[in-house]
Structure 1
């Protein structure tokens, strides 16, 4: 084992304290491997560790010394950062070999950040959320998950999950310029891992939040997001080609069967049918009844199973009570193979108030309109999106495209349009304020719907 040299890259104690407290916007600038004075300093954040070693090259091992409140430091006798791994020892456990999250470059490019700033990233789900990624390195291929979340007013953001013993202190995220996006690639995290974001607001309060862009979630009442890497192979090419090249759905008669998947049919014990079960039961029923389309009441994740699903908490995740996202893909695929179109109910007008979801996401009214006369729905007891905020419009437009592209939906039935269009909807005199022209129309909502149709 190598002896730790004395040429450690110096850092002020105040900077280390910011990292430990989760308040440093760029932890990668301090943690990980950095060249210094002809060698390489490695700093690692492992608050609960009893010992940390760095292993690199042909097995060269360097023991790190504890520096400050869970930060370990040491020097590698190489001029440039090598491909290395960490061997971490915790109390009562054998040493664990892992990779270092803080030796990886950002997973979002400059163009992605520019489009997010402009509110024009139409494939937002491709860059935010959780994505399994594979890299090649000299010591072996690396699989991990990149996490990215939009929280522009946050002082700090951490990711916690079953991969770090639900201790978010181990994984502070970095702020990507002025985009409001926080990002971190965590090696050795794969599909099925559960996680949440810890967000420190300007009010000095930490909030535990599900991922707004998550593809999958735990089954309620559990609320964590779940990393999901789709491997589904579609078999509806004939339907999709006919849809793209044909005269359109309006060229022939339509007969639509509306249903709520979770309660349409249940097993004898009361459990709902899974998406895969429904592919066997629903397709034949709809075909025999002569319907051309189904309209599915919200399939997005929502907290109360006894509802129809119109108070959504995770807009990019399917209702996990009936299976995973590929299960829903399978159901839609089977419907298309039977020449049955699929329309999804979509709820862009309001969202659920659960504190672990979108509500006051970064400690401020971020997704909801900050004006209570516009941001709160008295009749439904829910928040109303801030249609005047470009990033929120981007979130919603991208969400619509997500269901159309990633799930091959043939159309969206937009819920609650009247409540979006009119400022006085379900409000008494004195509970609403007119627009700049003195009218009752919500001009920002009108502009949003126009943008949606034009995209």
Structure 2
């Protein structure tokens, strides 16, 4: 147990456990004792002088030669001195402590309140504003305390030691019998405080926040918060009618942590921290470590303890067997609140896993689920980093959804936002009255694009807050991967800033060295503690080594979004086919750097909002051509080196931009609403793309190896044709051919390896069941001894218009 901290009294030589009144009484007693000794010594000295003078005046007697035998005398015991009687003192809280408690600026309320041995017995002190009376209950003892005013009560009981006791608090019309919170030792250990101070507490959520527990044999909740600049912290909540006056917390030394164990407080209670700033003003703040929150717009934190029992052992045991860059990885991106508007986490668990499994995606990626005040931010402006949004249910409800997805064989990725946070005055901004989570330099703290604040990655406690948060989602919610948002904005000091608006690093460069160190620490820690978990960077620049291991100087991510491929390929598709030959390089350039990182090809929510139009609406031409382009592009994307991600609604060619208010246009798939078969055809294509993908190791096994890809023809700009081979680890090939012109190309000759006796069309995006014109190659295609494209043999096939064809060895 951590010893009780000393009272900050005026005399540092006094015992740490004494209150100011005790110190004063002890000091007076010591002075009185010293004075008494001095008087006694003086009296003894006077007697000795008088005796000596008398001896000089008396005549001397001659002694005989023979000495008389000495008489054996019995020594008499000197009368024992009685110990000074301790004078009883007033047990009331002294004026200085009283003023600090009332002002909310007391660092050690436990040294004043509660029960303490003093001369004359045990002093009991309670601070209960609005109470009419406070009674001490100790066994058969029942003693009322004196009302000292302003909510203070005290009493001196002639007891040898502090007993086990409870207090009975009487209010107008009500009585409350409870444990005294100020009789408990700190409920946070020295090791926790040491790790927090070092910025190395990897399970920070178990040390800070609200933790229901049994402490010293009593059930209650331990509240802890990091607020090093605060002059005082008090606890407010439903249990004290949001008046924290009578619930001051104690400071645990230089750690900056404040703590209070409150008996009888349990799950479901609402709370916040009332912080006295350095300037004396007060602010009421939500808990940065809250595991559960109220649903916005309400902002209170809620005491929470998980009751969920997991059933995904089989999934967890096998998820890390194959490295993610060598495994199939096809991702369906979801905004939970709008996928099926109105559904809770548990209701989503009944529908989302079956839908995703039917379409064949290996993973879902959830847009941020951490609590955020403004729904229109889609979760990218987080205030509750440790709490799933209460809009859809409780934390255990979210665990139920993750569990259901795992049992369906689907991995769960989550968007994670460590780059910035909003300025709400009840959340993290200037949390304890000074910049704490944000950088103290305004040039480093204010994000120029989003009106938010950037984290101070150079502060070890802030870095610990974020690293532990990444682990929290992986360990407590069994998340399989974190897609880290806005990495580029973290890496560069001059991100979206003009000259004069940023300060170079110590080497004169623009790299944010603190952010680099943070990302490396986060990745290394996650991969060490959570086997099978993958981290994914949304990084839009040419930063070197994003997916290189940290021990080789890289950032340590497992995968990186290929924003360049996304931008270039969508740019190519937006042109009319007649003009595409002038932009042919935009589709081939990605292969110049395809193996520099481990890539994901993302068609995410960012590409179908803010006037960018949905994927199918980006395509030129009439409705038939738009859908054909859409299907051909998906076929090209699934065959291209790299993993793939598709945002909800694009799997059935939704024509409208996504809106978080109403989500995907599901009616487009329902014949009862006059839906056209075109949309169902695109969805069927996505299902088949995933099915063939999963069955074709050539499409995923060597995504990051140059030997897994070879161009057949990459310069057919006049034809708008792209053809390439993908290879599995055992050498099995898959041939992908895309024709992005609206004309049928008959007898199109392509060079192929001579060791394949025949090729079979395994997927064609122009098939009738997908809504296409059904221009196909139904028969096996046998190579002919006519060289083409560097190969000794070639095949002739029919290329449907605006379509992608996949062929495998027959």
TM-score (norm 2): 0.53
Describe how 1:232-271 pairs up with structure 2 within 5 A: 232-244=308-320, 246-266=321-341
Matched, 1:73 2:154: yes
1:8-59 CA-to-partner distances (Å, cap 9, x unmatched) read 446531122212221110000000111122522111110111111111113x
CA distance in 1, matches of 2:170, 2:478: 47
Secondary structure of 2:375 counterpart: coil
Q: Does the 8 Å CA contact 1:62/1:75 hold for their aligned counterparts?
A: no
- Name the larger-Rg structure: 2
Give unpaired runs (5+ residues) of structure 1. Answer: 267-271
1:208-257 CA-to-partner distances (Å, cap 9, x unmatched) read 0000000000111111000001111110011111124x123333211001
1:105 to 185, 189, 197: 185
CA distance in 2, matches of 1:229, 1:239: 24
Secondary structure of 1:49 counterpart: coil
1:46: which partner in 2? 128
Matched, 1:94 2:170: no
CA distance in 2, matches of 1:405, 1:291: 24
2:118: which partner in 1? 36
CA distance in 1, matches of 2:119, 2:317: 62
Secondary structure of 2:191 counterpart: helix
1:144: which partner in 2? 220
**Mean Cα deviation higher: 313-322 or 37-46:** 37-46
Distance apart, 1:162 and its partner CA: 0.4
Secondary structure of 2:132 counterpart: strand
Describe how 1:386-405 pairs up with structure 2 within 5 A: 386-405=456-475
Q: Does the 8 Å CA contact 1:423/1:441 hold for their aligned counterparts?
A: yes
2:231: which partner in 1? 155
Distance apart, 1:78 and its partner CA: 2.5
1:379: which partner in 2? 449
1:332: which partner in 2? 402
Distance apart, 1:96 and its partner CA: 1.6
What CA RMSD, in Å, does the superposition of the two structures yield over aligned residues? 1.4
Change (3 A) 1:156 1:133: same
CA distance in 2, matches of 1:212, 1:206: 17
1:364-422 CA-to-partner distances (Å, cap 9, x unmatched) read 00000111211111111100000111110000000000001000011100000000001
Q: Does the 8 Å CA contact 2:92/2:153 hold for their aligned counterparts?
A: no
Secondary structure of 1:423 counterpart: coil
TM-score (norm 1): 0.94
Secondary structure of 2:507 counterpart: coil
Secondary structure of 2:99 counterpart: helix
1:269: which partner in 2? none
Secondary structure of 2:418 counterpart: coil
Matched, 1:446 2:526: no
1:313 to 349, 365, 383: 383
Q: Does the 8 Å CA contact 1:217/1:317 hold for their aligned counterparts?
A: yes
2:145: which partner in 1? 64
CA distance in 2, matches of 1:306, 1:442: 29
1:290: which partner in 2? 360
Change (3 A) 1:74 1:454: same
Distance apart, 1:105 and its partner CA: 1.0
1:27: which partner in 2? 109
Matched, 1:416 2:486: yes
Q: Does the 8 Å CA contact 1:45/1:170 hold for their aligned counterparts?
A: yes
Q: Does the 8 Å CA contact 1:55/1:87 hold for their aligned counterparts?
A: yes
Give unpaired runs (5+ residues) of structure 2. Answer: 1-86, 526-810
2:427: which partner in 1? 357
Q: Does the 8 Å CA contact 2:184/2:216 hold for their aligned counterparts?
A: no
CA distance in 1, matches of 2:159, 2:408: 63
Task: Give the count of matched residue pairs.
Answer: 439
1:126 to 194, 199, 206: 206
CA distance in 2, matches of 1:104, 1:38: 23
CA distance in 2, matches of 1:49, 1:9: 19
Distance apart, 1:444 and its partner CA: 0.6
Secondary structure of 2:355 counterpart: helix
CA distance in 1, matches of 2:445, 2:307: 38
Q: Does the 8 Å CA contact 2:220/2:263 hold for their aligned counterparts?
A: yes
The structure richer in helix per residue is: 2
1:334-375 CA-to-partner distances (Å, cap 9, x unmatched) read 111111001110000000110000000000000001112111
2:274: which partner in 1? 198
Q: Does the 8 Å CA contact 1:16/1:68 hold for their aligned counterparts?
A: no
2:634: which partner in 1? none
CA distance in 1, matches of 2:313, 2:343: 26
Q: Does the 8 Å CA contact 2:275/2:285 hold for their aligned counterparts?
A: yes
The structure richer in strand per residue is: 1
Secondary structure of 2:255 counterpart: coil
CA distance in 2, matches of 1:384, 1:14: 40
Q: Does the 8 Å CA contact 1:160/1:167 hold for their aligned counterparts?
A: yes
Q: Does the 8 Å CA contact 2:187/2:215 hold for their aligned counterparts?
A: no
Q: Does the 8 Å CA contact 1:7/1:37 hold for their aligned counterparts?
A: yes
CA distance in 2, matches of 1:10, 1:135: 28
Matched, 1:177 2:253: yes
1:12: which partner in 2? 94
Change (3 A) 1:41 1:199: same
**Mean Cα deviation higher: 295-304 or 37-46:** 37-46
2:265: which partner in 1? 189
Q: Does the 8 Å CA contact 1:20/1:70 hold for their aligned counterparts?
A: no
1:231 to 307, 317, 321: 307
Which structure has more relative contact order (CA 8 Å, sep 6+)? It is 1
CA distance in 1, matches of 2:325, 2:468: 25
CA distance in 2, matches of 1:68, 1:419: 56
